[in-house]
Amino acid sequence: MESRILHSSSSCCYSSLGTVNRYRFSSVSSPKPLSVSFTQTARRRTKVSRVLSMSKKDDATGSLTYKDSGVDIDAGTELVKRIAKMAPGIGGFGGLFPLGDDYLVAGTDGVGTKLKLAFETGIHDTIGIDLVAMSVNDIVTSGAKPLFFLDYFATSRLDVDLAEKVIKGIVEGCRQSECALLGGETAEMPGFYAEGEYDLSGFAVGIVKKNAVINGKNIVAGDVLIGLPSSGVHSNGFSLVRRVLARSNLSLNDALPGGSTTLGEALMAPTVIYVKQVLDIISRGGVKGIAHITGGGFTDNIPRVFPDGLGAVIHTDAWELPPLFKWIQQSGRIEDSEMRRTFNLGIGMVMVVSPEAASRILQEAKNGDYVAYRVGEVINGEGVSYQ
């Protein structure tokens, strides 16, 4: 294995390959572990989507579910509960580590079986944006500004031209989130991956003042949910997407029904990086909680930022369902509840804000500064309901 390391950087950059010792972060120990505010980035989604087999026969008549496609969200939730017994405090979108007057906030993720479509479409220069987005969008939910990013690129045989395309996307993702690409690891493992395929994971670290951390503790009934639009499926739910594609009569080169691109282009649209927009909105006050809508959709992710006893009502007519999600639901005959628990449905980030902040944000959106929707409200009673 070869590490790519930059010891110091103030801008997004990348070092040349060099043979050095592999390095890793050691675990943190403390004589008073319960006094440390430390959350691990353990998602409610599970990563079994990486090993999905598409050989299961599909009768093309029933309603598809994420579990049918090999991903069991409930199993992932159960794993989080078990890990919580060993490492109390997990379950947030990012892990918080105290450092003086600040918290370092860390996140890690991959892009799942979206990589399978990258192999099929030959689109490799944007998948790195997805990789960066999945981690920096997690840590910004705490109000943290990303500082640096590291990547892990694994393949059976290193194709330098292909790897360069992937890393180009990582560089772009770091540019968009204004963080440094500090380094990474290239792992060449013959016989482990199929020829021409690779796997990716990424790790981001950011910082936020302790007195400015966004943690949802002051959310109350009557607060407003503001949704920021996604660019498409982002990087979750692709095991189900691929099952739908296999059932449909369309190929990745066909036009997306109701859309303006091919199906492959729509599915490969890179994940939106919300860092600049979210930090700008936070700087003007009134933001109490932020949920990154990843695996688990609205149903599982929004409650993660609420205090006990609070839930949300979502107004499904507050935004128009994008054509891509309409095609997925219709082609897979997927129930509304399954769509809401699997996909972002066109909203990639949800902010819980005061009514006053909501008015300001919506006015700015009306002025054309950005796009945002009032997607719901906080209510008494736990869970997410839809109207």
- Interatomic CA distance for residues 380 and 167, integer angstroms: 46
Q: Is the pTM of this model over 0.85?
A: no
- Interatomic CA distance for residues 315 and 337, integer angstroms: 14
In this prediction, residue 144 has a pLDDT band, given cuts at 50, 70 and 90, of very high
How open is the CA angle 20-168-176, to the nearest 5 degrees?
Answer: 110
| C-alpha to C-alpha distances, 124 to 128, 163, 247, nearest whole angstrom | 8, 9, 25
Q: What is the pLDDT of residue 56?
A: 40
Q: What is the pLDDT of residue 49?
A: 28
Residue 374's CB is within 10 A of a number of other CB atoms, namely 18
DSSP bridge pairs for 146 = 206
Of 32 and 167, more confident? 167
pLDDT tens profile 218-259: 999 999 999 999 999 999 999 999 999 999 989 999 999 999
Three-class DSSP category at 191? coil
Q: What is the pLDDT of residue 92?
A: 67
Residue 254's CB is within 10 A of a number of other CB atoms, namely 12
Whether 47 shows a pLDDT value over 80: the answer reads: no
> What percentage of residues in the chain have a pLDDT greater than 90?
74
- 11: burial class by Cβ within 10 Å (0-12, 13-18, 19+)? exposed
Whether 190 shows a pLDDT value over 90: the answer reads: yes
Whether 295 shows a pLDDT value over 60: the answer reads: yes
Residues in the chain: 387
| C-alpha to C-alpha distances, 192 to 91, 122, 153, 204, 327, nearest whole angstrom | 31, 21, 13, 26, 35
Report how far apart the first and last C-alpha atoms of the chain are (Å, whole number): 52
Q: What is the DSSP letter of 157?
A: S
- 86: burial class by Cβ within 10 Å (0-12, 13-18, 19+)? exposed
> What percentage of residues in the chain have a pLDDT greater than 70?
79
Q: Looking at residues 280-302, what average pLDDT do you find?
A: 95
Q: Looking at residues 349-373, what average pLDDT do you find?
A: 96
- Interatomic CA distance for residues 303 and 383, integer angstroms: 6
| C-alpha to C-alpha distances, 83 to 43, 68, 77, 80, 90, nearest whole angstrom | 11, 25, 10, 5, 8
pLDDT tens profile 251-260: 999 999 999 9
Least confident of 11-15, 121-125, 178-182: 11-15
Averaged pLDDT score across all residues of the chain: 84
Three-class DSSP category at 182? strand
pLDDT tens profile 53-98: 333 445 555 777 766 666 666 776 677 678 667 665 555 678 899 9
Whether 131 shows a pLDDT value over 80: the answer reads: yes
